[in-house]
Amino acid sequence: MAKKTVRDVSDLAGRRVFVRVDFNVPVENGAITCDTRIRAAVPTLQYLVKAGAQTVLASHLGRPKKGPTPEFSLKPVAARLSELLGQPVPIASDCIGADVAARAAALKNGDVLLLENVRFHPEEEKNDPGFAAQLVKDSGATLFVNDAFGTAHRAHASTEGVSHHVKTSVAGFLMEKELRYLGMALEAPERPFVAVLGGAKVSDKIQVIESLLPRVDALLIGGGMAYTFFRAQGLGIGKSLVEQDKVELAKALLEKADGKIHLPVDHIVASAFKADAETKTLPVTEIPADWMGLDIGPRTAAEFAGRGAAAKIVLWNGPMGVFEMKPFAQGTLAMARALADSQGTSIVGGGDSVAAVTQMGLADQIDHVSTGGGASLEFLAGDPLPGVACLQEA
């Protein structure tokens, strides 16, 4: 799935470029609490600045439902981006309109302008053709660069619609990196290839499991979703999370897997869903009727970690337990350490998985930490991503 990138565009000096970035960062009381997504876009923006392009940035922030409101403004992002780029990055009062047109027209080579939250307009999420055309017209752009992998699974005006109103649409460096690493999991993985999937529900990962099964040597399943598979095997699960309507599907997947699916052998069970509950470490064949499983056990953590560390390619998406509660975070943290120690290519996606490697200071020891949550899952499920499909083939 090779796409042309901004590196393939030769005439950037003096050219107006519309760049879709993913600056959907957490903001509390006007302050950014994690700037990872902003930092991830910096290489592309530095390249454009150095090449003398006139760069206009578009992003969303949160889910504003009542039009423009201060809590969803990108103003804090403009301030942080100015620091990271080492140059002023002004923000327009809107993403379309007279102010945008005037500011864009005044850009000099190497300048960067940030547009206000595109989701202040409902037409953005509707991928309204007129709104997409207005984004391009008011910015004066002739080139579209999509560097927002995290939103590439959505056919919105600023992620897909604008591509119909410019001659050239290419990927930024972050998008290129996401496609390269996640593509390894789908195209020609080295062996052994191990995938680790966690999280609460089988239903969230059905397509990913079905897509990965023919490709992997081992698929390790933890988290709440494991209990639906245990139920499919006829095991008692106490009050653990289960998707009763997916038990037959889990049974079919186990049969189809032909031994590739590996489930926990022990688990940490608790008397209640709270951090200070009484806990026990038991084999998965044992659980008190009124208790619940909230993390994989130490034997499972060691087995999963060993398989992950020995893999040529290891892909991890989803926590092994209730990661937000410290007593039930050890399985997830063990996987984080295993991927950091892996001699092969390590790929991490999913909010809690990313949080684990970041929290432990291991992110820089992982080959690729994906910025895309839903986009990563849809990509791994083999679904076409509108924000990628609209870019030119390499």
Task: Give me the active site residues, please.
Answer: 37, 201, 351, 374
Phi, psi for residue 121 in degrees, rounded to 5? -115, 120
Residues found in the chain? 394
Residue 337, SS3 per DSSP: helix
Nearest C-alpha neighbor of 354 from the set 378, 331, 374, 371: 371
Nearest C-alpha neighbor of 59 from the set 85, 78, 33: 78
Which residues 6+ apart lie within 8 Å of 172 measured at CB? 5, 6, 19, 21, 41, 44, 145, 146, 147
Angle between helices 173-184 and 36-51 (to 10 degrees): 120
Q: 211-237: buried (b, 16+ CB within 10 Å) or exposed (e) per residue?
A: bbbebbebbbbbbbbbbbbbbbeeeeb
* DSSP character at residue 383: P
